[in-house]
Every structure is written in C-alpha cells, then in structure tokens.
C-alpha cells in the first residue's frame, strides 16, 4: 500500500513539472522565472507576424528540431507555445524524451495569448485617435433597433479571419441592421465600459440593450444567426 501511494505521489510530482496552463498562469510563471527559456515552435513566417516578447523561434518543421531543442539548458525552465496548441504538445513530448523536467506549455497557444490582449512583439498597433468614445457609441446604440459590434484588432489572427464575413454581412443587412467594427487598439474606454477583455468579441444590441456577447472566432453562419 505504501509503495502504491509513493508511486502516485512521484507520478504527480513528475507530471506537475510538465504543465499545460492558461495564458494568465503562463504569464505569471514566465514573469516569476528569471532564467526562463521561452520557445516559439511555429514557422519563421508565423513568428514574424507576431510573437511573445523575448521568445526564441525554433521551427518544429525543421529536420533537426529535436537536436535544436537539445541545445537548451536542462537546468532552466522551458516555456513553449505554438499557434493553437498542436505543435507545442509534440514539442513538450520531445522535451520530456530529451530529459527536460521543468516544462510549461501555453494552452491555446499564441492565438489565446493574443486574444486576451496580452503583450506581443513584432506587431504594429494602431495609434489613430478613438472613433467611438463611449458617449458617441451610446448615442448610436440608443438609435438602432439592431446593432452588432465586432471588437477586433488588426494583428488578431481570428479577427482577420472573420473580416471578410463581417464585410459581407454589412452589405447584406444594410437597412435592417447596423454592423460596426471597433478597433481594440484605439478604443480603450469602450473596452472598459463594455468589459471586453478578449478578441474577437461580438456584441449584439437590440433597441439599445445588450442582448448577446460572443467571444472568439465565429463563422459567417454563426454571425448571421445573431442578426436574425
């Protein structure tokens, strides 16, 4: 019985050393680890389009990927992420096989990190003046029977994927609904007023009242349903 209990405790300790954690926990652990090795295993093109600050790019598709990971310091914690979690999972398995014990994986990858508007490098943030101060927006929503707001950012991957559908719906529902795009980079008071802390976020107002909130990527059919 003691042997079984000891085995379970040891197993829990080992599994605890290779953690898959939320973006908030990942950020906290990273900040607390002075010797952290932050590894982005996406392609160089993906890395160039935006990455976590101070990350090093080791492309999981390169033929010597395992050898490249093996050059990291085993005495220091390793933090790893990819776009959404698939490639980082494989990287974690490789790191374990190589003998790394203090490994942290970002659940949801770069998309989740960026969607929560956490710090990113390699992107250009909008610096334009706000178009929608809260008072102006509130005046608009009170006049509309149906208003859908797409809160986005130019550097947000899911937002860019949704953009063509938003444009299509704007044309399709002309006269029956107003579809407004609000840039999270420039509209901080709006984000605070409507408690938006992830991108993309869709807000639906009917007769001035907020009736629906959708967070994350939505395809054209899902957004159209919100307007019916």
Q: Cα–Cα distance between 125 and 170 in angstroms, integer?
A: 25
159 flagged as catalytic:
yes
Question: Annotated catalytic residue: which of 92, 111, 159, 177?
Answer: 159
DSSP state at residue 215: E
- Cα 122 from Cα 180, distance rounded (Å): 27
Token match 């003046």: residue?
A: 129
82 is catalytic: no
**DSSP-derived pairing of the beta strands 18-21 and 56-57:** unpaired
Instruction: Give the Cβ contact number of residue 202 at 10 Å.
Output: 21
Burial of residue 138 (CB within 10 Å: 0-12, 13-18, 19+) is middle
The one catalytic residue in 55, 91, 156, 204 is 156
Q: In sequence order, what are the beta bridge partners of 182?
A: 151
Residues marked active site are found at: 156, 159
């Amino acid at each position: 019985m003691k042997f079984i209990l000891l085995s379970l405790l040891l197993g829990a300790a080992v599994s605890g050393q290779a953690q898959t954690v939320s973006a908030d926990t990942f950020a906290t652990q990273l900040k607390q680890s002075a010797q952290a090795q932050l590894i982005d295993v996406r392609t160089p093109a993906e890395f160039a389009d935006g990455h976590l600050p101070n990350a090093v790019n080791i492309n999981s598709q390169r033929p010597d990927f395992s050898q490249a990971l093996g050059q990291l310091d085993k005495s220091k914690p390793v933090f790893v992420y990819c776009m959404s979690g698939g490639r980082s999972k494989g990287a974690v398995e490789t790191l374990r096989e190589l003998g790394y014990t203090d490994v942290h994986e970002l659940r949801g990858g770069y998309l989740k990190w960026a969607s929560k508007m956490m710090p990113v490098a390699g992107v250009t943030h909008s610096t334009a003046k706000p178009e929608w101060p809260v008072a102006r927006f509130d005046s608009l929503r009170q006049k509309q029977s149906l208003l859908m707001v797409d809160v986005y950012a130019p550097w947000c991957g899911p937002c860019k994927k949704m953009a063509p559908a938003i444009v299509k719906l704007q044309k399709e529902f002309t006269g029956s609904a107003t579809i407004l795009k609000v840039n999270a980079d420039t509209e901080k008071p709006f984000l605070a007023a409507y408690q938006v802390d992830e991108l993309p976020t869709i807000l639906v107002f009917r007769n001035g009242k907020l009736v629906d909130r959708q967070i994350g990527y939505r395809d054209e059919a899902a957004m159209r349903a919100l307007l019916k």
